[in-house]
Amino acid sequence: MNNCIFCKIIKGEILAHKVFEDENFLAFLDIHPTSPGHVQVIPKEHVRWVWDVENIGEYFEVVRKIAKAQQKAFETDWILSKIVGDEIEHAHIWVYPNNKVTGDKMDFENNAGKIRNSL
């Protein structure tokens, strides 16, 4: 989709702090984080709703992988997720540590590195 910000991130037209990428999915830090390590997990194929992702089981396995890495990276068991889809018309799942996690939520390089190193 031409005007989709997530499709532009996938194509490399917009820079993002990637924490995970494979053939079908991409996970990157949210630019307006709720907490340190707030990640968006998206399918690389432009799909409007999470429920329409063809390989949804694989999608949720990636989400789990990110959540487990966040638990380790931010030393918390409390990882939240959110699926709404009204902000951007591309399937996405928010995955983020609770708001009691300390640290600078805008320190993208450090937070991305912590998650990548915990995968």
Q: Phi/psi at 52 (nearest 5 deg)?
A: -100, 0
In 3D space, the residue among 40, 35, 38 whose CA is nearest the CA of residue 104 turns out to be: 35
Could you give the residue numbers annotated as active site?
A: 92
Is the pLDDT assigned to residue 1 strictly greater than 70? no
Which of the four pLDDT bands, split at 50, 70 and 90, describes residue 59? very high
- Six-digit token pair at 60? 């949720």
pTM: 0.93
Residue 60 structural domain: 5-118
CATH code, domain with 15: 3.30.428.10
Number of domains within the chain: 1
Cβ(89)–Cβ(67) below 8 Å: no
Which of the four pLDDT bands, split at 50, 70 and 90, describes residue 73? very high
The pLDDT of residue 103: 84
- Six-digit token pair at 113? 């590195």
Q: Phi/psi at 23 (nearest 5 deg)?
A: -60, -30
